[in-house]
Amino acid sequence: MSEVQEKALAAKRTTNVLNQLTPDQKNQALELMAQELLSRKEELFQANRSDIEKGAAAGLSTAFIDRLTLNDQRVEAMAEGLRQIINLDDPIGDLLEETERPNGLLIRKIRVPLGLVGIIYESRPNVTVDAAGLCLKSGNAVLLRGGSDALASNGKLVQILQDALQKSAVPPEAIQLVESADRSSVNEMLKMKGVLDVLIPRGGHSLIRNVVENATVPVIETGAGICHTYLDDGADFKKALEIAMNAKVQRPSVCNSMETLLVHREFAASHLHSLAEKFLGAAVELRGCPETLDLIGELANTKLATEQDYATEYNDYILNVKIVGSLEEAVAHINRYGTQHSECIVTENADRARRFMLEVDAAAVYQNASTRFTDGFEFGYGAEIGISTQKLHARGPMGLPALTTTKYCVYGNGQIRE
């Protein structure tokens, strides 16, 4: 039996136990997990250093190394994420609908766990803890397969979480990590229909496409983030500058960071030079349309943007800049190149803001706020399992309800169908 099969079946065997746990039992387990993380930070940092050294030797980018790196603040954020999940309402058993039929049947629709959730993700170790905590609270077991670049970090994290669960009512086997770095382990997970109840991919376009196109297991698709900010001619310059800078520079390696800045021609004539200087001062490489180059071409590090650039999720200090002549042109560009993740308009014109919010097809659409807010913490859901860009089951930041399905409980008194 392969490692994937062995660990999947071990996790699957715990699902019946998880389904019977009380909210208090699950919350106690989450608190123990948070405490164990904080008390064993040094072990974790040692494992993480091993991953960072290997990544640096392999020539990984600065932004990629940033995604991989753990420090005091990020470990404390992991623990805080678990504690925020404790404070969220337990969705299991929620009564969603109740109907009494003319024949006396009482039909109740309630929330129940999905069962065994498989999560395939890339280099961010915090996903390991977020996913484990959310799955546990929603009564699910989880089979994790992280990126090979974070193998030591993820292995230590899962060991710490499993050790914490030894002191709780939750079976430690409910959290499993596939430690094989071979891509065949991913392909094996994709075909485990009947064992895995759902697969959730988190990562770049190629990973998500591979899972969606090849899985026999049902998939909740989390999308790549080609996110845009449109600066309308009715934008306030101070707001526009702060929002655009935050959307790109605050943490460029994540899926809700901006990849293309769309600027109305009139706004660009007055302000694009100042905007470009700010981005260049923050070490952002600019790639612009021909009209952009006419305005800022003399500035360093400004290249001509290509069709491929507009369709690329950089996750790095690179930004496309395109000048447009109207709201319609901005929306058309977004709906062509966007990945239905997060899009923003900066404007003081209420009518154009309303139209943008209606016409842009994305999981999250913003008026005068950075796309960086598309996040479970910021939406008040605690940690998230991912940002869904699909339209079935869940869309946007996926908190606890997205990790449940429904069951109909039908109560009778001897009724038969004639």
Q: What is the largest CA-CA distance in the chain?
A: 83
What's the rounded Cα separation, in Å, for the pair 315 and 369? 20
pLDDT of residue 382: 64
If DSSP codes are grouped into helix, strand and coil, which group holds residue 140? coil
β-partners of residue 177 are: 144
pLDDT of residue 380: 75
Closest to 246 (Cα-Cα) out of 227, 233, 269, 265: 227
pLDDT of residue 221: 79
Strand-by-strand arrangement of the 175-177 sheet: 175-177, 141-145, 116-121, 198-202
State the pTM of this model: 0.77
pLDDT digits (tens, 9 = 90+) for 105-155: 999 999 999 999 999 998 789 899 999 999 999 999 999 999 999 999 999
Residue numbers in the chain where pLDDT is lower than 50: none
pLDDT of residue 282: 95
Q: Give the domain ranges of the chain.
A: 3-222+398-411, 227-373
What's the rounded Cα separation, in Å, for the pair 162 and 285? 43
Angle among Cα 82, 87, 90 to the nearest 5 degrees reads: 95
Q: Which CATH architecture has domain 227-373?
A: 3-Layer(aba) Sandwich (3.40)
Residue recorded with tokens 């990126």: 147
pLDDT of residue 197: 96
First vs last C-alpha separation in the chain: 49
CATH class of 3-222+398-411: alpha beta
pLDDT of residue 204: 73
